[in-house]
Amino acid sequence: MSKPLILVTNDDGMFAPGLQALVEVVRELGEVVVVAPDSPQSGKGHAITITEPIRLNKVSVFEGIEAYECSGTPVDCVKLARHVVLKDRKIDLCVSGINHGSNAAINIIYSGTMSAAMEASLEGIKSIGFSSLDYSFKANFEPQKPYVLQICKYMLHSEVSSNLLNVNMPIDAIKGLKVCRQAEARWVEEFQEGIDPRGQKYYWLTGRFENQDDGNPDTDVSALDAGYISIVPSKHDLTDYEALTELRNIEQ
């Protein structure tokens, strides 16, 4: 039996320690190909590049592993991997991350890491986004690695109806894994206002995370607070099915 083909990507760029940690884990499981952005792409959501060309360059970053850096967004990386770099080959698993910072709760929709994973899942590829609660570039991923390995093996060898997992990990003292739903939460924005060197006013986005699902034990945020790794099976159908019937009277 041939080795599984594993695509690795992220949104923090080719030289992020989180990407390196992820490559170190999955290279035990199969043939690894990396296609990652050539610059940090945090907060890029599901953006794609349509009004300009994208560049793709082969690079030597990980010994013995084929790697390409791409000038586009994380979603562009996955599209190029699927349709140019690995054209005509079956990708068995796509892993994205390990992101430096949480993608739990509503962060999933802003996250380049999770959007890359979702794009792969749209192509029918089993896909996992991994994120650590540690925002630091000096984050230590050692405590998380055995769990990353376990979850990748599970996804490779099981038939689960969801082909997209959003995995978030505490920094250390990890108690285990919890399968949960996306917490209802939002960012409360505050813009920092300033004057630039040319005397022009600017606004710089900042904010704080607000969990509106506080006290409910079945969410990803609760699992993380309790020291567990959260796993949210996710999908791309945004239909609000409960509202469908209720809304029907607009048709008259």
| Count of Cβ atoms closer than 10 Å to residue 140 Cβ | 13
Torsions phi, psi for 12 (to 5 deg): -90, -5
Question: How long is the chain?
Answer: 252
CA dihedral 183, 162, 3, 144 (to 10 degrees): 10
Asked if 100 is part of the footprint of a copy of itself (rule: CB under 8 A), the reply reads no
Q: Which of residues 55-74 bind a copy of itself (CB under 8 A)?
A: 55-56, 73
Residue 111 and residue 129: Cα distance in Å, rounded?
A: 10
Minimum CB distance to a copy of itself, residue 165 (Å)? 8
Asked if 88 is part of the footprint of a copy of itself (rule: CB under 8 A), the reply reads no
CA 38 to chain centre: 17
Minimum CB distance to a copy of itself, residue 72 (Å)? 8
Our CB check for a copy of itself shows the closer of 140 and 150 to be: 150
- Pick the closest to residue 124 from 96, 88, 162 (CA basis): 162
Minimum CB distance to a copy of itself, residue 186 (Å)? 5
Q: By CB under 8 A, name the one of 1, 2, 50, 197 that touches a copy of itself.
A: 50
| Count of Cβ atoms closer than 10 Å to residue 106 Cβ | 19
Eight-class DSSP state of 38: S
* Residue 187, Cβ density class (10 Å: 0-12 exposed, 13-18 middle, ≥19 buried): middle
Asked if 16 is part of the footprint of a copy of itself (rule: CB under 8 A), the reply reads no
Asked if 1 is part of the footprint of a copy of itself (rule: CB under 8 A), the reply reads no
Minimum CB distance to a copy of itself, residue 95 (Å)? 16
Contact stretch for a copy of itself (CB under 8 A) within 2-10, 12-20, 36-44, 130-138: 36-44
Asked if 240 is part of the footprint of a copy of itself (rule: CB under 8 A), the reply reads yes
Longest dimension (CA), the chain: 65
In degrees, rounded to 5, the angle at the alpha carbon of residue 102 between the alpha carbons of residues 100 and 106 is: 140
CB 74 within 8 A of CB 41: yes
Asked if 202 is part of the footprint of a copy of itself (rule: CB under 8 A), the reply reads yes
Asked if 197 is part of the footprint of a copy of itself (rule: CB under 8 A), the reply reads no
Minimum CB distance to a copy of itself, residue 208 (Å)? 12
Our CB check for a copy of itself shows the closer of 5 and 56 to be: 56
Q: By CB under 8 A, name the one of 75, 91, 133, 221 that touches a copy of itself.
A: 75
Minimum CB distance to a copy of itself, residue 5 (Å)? 18
Q: Which of residues 125-164 bind a copy of itself (CB under 8 A)?
A: 150-151, 154, 160-162, 164
